[in-house]
Chain A
Amino acid sequence: MFTIDFTGEYAAFFLFSAIMICGAVLMIMLEKVVHMVVSMAAVFLGLAGMFVLLEAEFVAFVQVLIYAGAISILMIFGIMMTKHQQAEQAPVKPLKETLAIIGSLSLFGLLFYAIRRTTFPEPLPFQPGEDNTMAIGMTLYTGYMIPFELLSVLLTVAFIGAIVMAKKEAD
């Protein structure tokens, strides 16, 4: 059932999984908001590592640039500008927590059982693209030209809208 030949790729996979799972668990467990953001940045970095393992370097480094860099800093800014001195304590509810544990354990059991029982079709031999940045560009600007342009318009509208709203508040 568990036949895994131990290569460098698996070692890296387990390392990144450990980083991501630890980061995700800490994100929920920690009490200070800034610590949460830092552990979430660890999850983003682990995810970027996973993309590198899948030979999607472009997506991996865009992940680092946007999520680990920009979004984390945005959140930290948001936290620092507002007041978060005391750690927030949630009241303990024993019944609710027991139910939550049972629910999540059974969900895990169900998913694990389903994944182990399914026979996946034999995958085609993996063909890494010669240059996946080029391939992404080609696809984006030929097949998905219209959705891409529409998305850019949407983002621009949102951007200008944010400025207008901030300006209204400042006046």
Chain B
Amino acid sequence: MGAWLSEPLTWGNALVMFLWGVVFLGIVLGFVTYAIYFERKVIGWMQLRIGPNRVGPFGLFQTVADILKLLVKEDTIPRKADRFLFILAPALAYVPAFSVLVVLPYTQNLYFADLNVGLLYYVALSGISTLAIVIGGWASNNKYALLGGMRSAAQMISYEVPLVISVVGVILLSGSLNLRDIVEAQAGGWFWNWNFLPQIIGFVVFIIAAVSELNRTPFDLPEAESELVAGYHVEYSGFRFAFFMLSEYVYVYAIAALTTVLFLGGWHAPAPFLDFVPGILWFLLKFACIVFFLFWIRATFPRIRVDQLMGLGWKVLLPVSLLNVFLTAVYLELFIKN
């Protein structure tokens, strides 16, 4: 991939890049389809239910059927909604969700863009999705949608701050914002060279803030169905609703891949004698573990109370992540620099 990126942009190269984009979109859609299936299955098993088992063998086509249903459903726009913003919001939510995936490196040679400020790019673009959610909630002209949108924006902004500060430690250790360099800095053969042990405080803060950014249980207040009907997307149906759901699951993909890259050593093997296994398999294994972990949290945690939510973000996570930056800087100054 690296050689492709530095070639001049001719029509042929542009076509090849476009096709790669399409292939990647197909992979992401496949991931989303089966992530939803596994989420329902895993949560079902954890709660002593069976989960989807009717459509296809073991219910494998359940999500496909659900998506088909969404696509053929009537597309309604409420009469009093703000038409332009109502249509804009789902697209505005999805575009950044898909664009952030471009900087994630999968192996030494398999990556889509080698951006010098990859991490900053990820953080900056994922902020735009918040805008889309607020606009969607406002444009629906519905009390519950507006409340859901407000909650979502407040939550995503409050947790984005500790999320960003918690990775500063990783940036300090590897001396780069480029995600490929961050993975390379974790090379060394053994798993204790990966960032999650030296940066254990940052890692914990990152995971908590990431779950909150994804608006998943225990932080799924924006769509708390017992209080808000459904949250910011109450008025959406059919294709537009599918877009909101899709961007939510694409962010699951993005966060899982980002955690793998930042803290779990990317494509590196956990021990030197396991180096013969190709890097992409290690990457996929770690990626799958994190996705499973997210499902596990969702199945077992109760929802946090709305007044505790902001307190946790600003009074616990933010000071802890700042402390982590300070400790990392002191460690680097005392032991590494000399």
CB within 8 Å of B: which residues of A?
A: 8, 32, 34-35, 38, 41, 57-58, 61-62, 64-65, 68-70, 72-73, 76-77, 80, 131-133
Contact = CB atoms under 8 A, between A and B. Distances in A.
Contact of B124 (A69, A73, A132): A69
Interface residues of B, number: 25
B172 to A, nearest CB: 12
Contacts of B204: none
Contacts of B207: none
Given A32-B82, A34-B135, A38-B85, 12 more contacts: A34-B85, A57-B117, A64-B128, A65-B120, A65-B123, A73-B130, A76-B138, A77-B150, A80-B138, A80-B146, A131-B116, A133-B116
5 contacts: A38-B135, A61-B120, A72-B131, A76-B135, A80-B150
Contacts of B224: none
Given A34-B135, A72-B131, A76-B138, A64 B125 contact: yes
Nearest to A68: B128
Nearest to A74: B157
A61 B124 contact: yes
Contacts of A65: 120, 123-124, 127
A76 B131 contact: yes
A50 to B, nearest CB: 15
A69 B9 contact: no
B177 interface: yes
Interface in B102-126: 115-117, 120-121, 123-125
Nearest to B177: A133
A34 B116 contact: no
B221 interface: no
B138 A34 contact: yes
For the complex of A and B, list the 7 residue pairs with the smallest distance between their C-beta atoms, beginning with the closest.
Answer: A69-B127, A65-B124, A64-B124, A61-B124, A61-B120, A57-B117, A8-B9
A58 B117 contact: yes
Interface in B124-176: 124-125, 127-128, 130-131, 134-135, 138, 146, 150, 153, 157
Given A64-B127, A64-B128, A73 B120 contact: no
B29 interface: no
A13 B149 CA distance: 35
A72 B129 CA distance: 12
Nearest to B8: A8
A8 B8 CA distance: 10
Interface in B38-83: 82
Nearest to B92: A38
Interface string B80-91: 001011001000
Most buried by B among A73, A131, A132: A73
Given A8-B9, A77-B153, A80-B146, A61 B131 contact: no
Contacts of A41: 131
A24 to B, nearest CB: 18
Contacts of A34: 82, 85, 135, 138
